[in-house]
Amino acid sequence: MAKIFKFIYGLVIFLYLFLIQKEVAGYIQCDFDADCPEMFRHIFYLCIDKLCRQFVTL
């Protein structure tokens, strides 16, 4: 009986991770480059096709 509860508990936690990840947005919407986040270390953002795209400088 305890093994069944452990299995169900593990299954619920495993499936919950997919529900959390589904809600994450990949890009920030923008109209201009100024709408994107400012440069952070070697990473900067440009507004391309109304989405903030990330670029890395070396």
Q: 28-56: per-residue pLDDT in tens?
A: 889 998 888 887 778 888 899 999 888 88
Eight-class DSSP state of 50: T
Q: Where are the alpha helices (DSSP H) in 1-58?
A: 2-22
Amino acid present at 7: F
pLDDT tens by residue, 8-26: 998 888 888 777 655 555 6
pTM value is 0.49
Enumerate the domain spans of the chain.
Answer: 25-58
pLDDT at site 7: 92
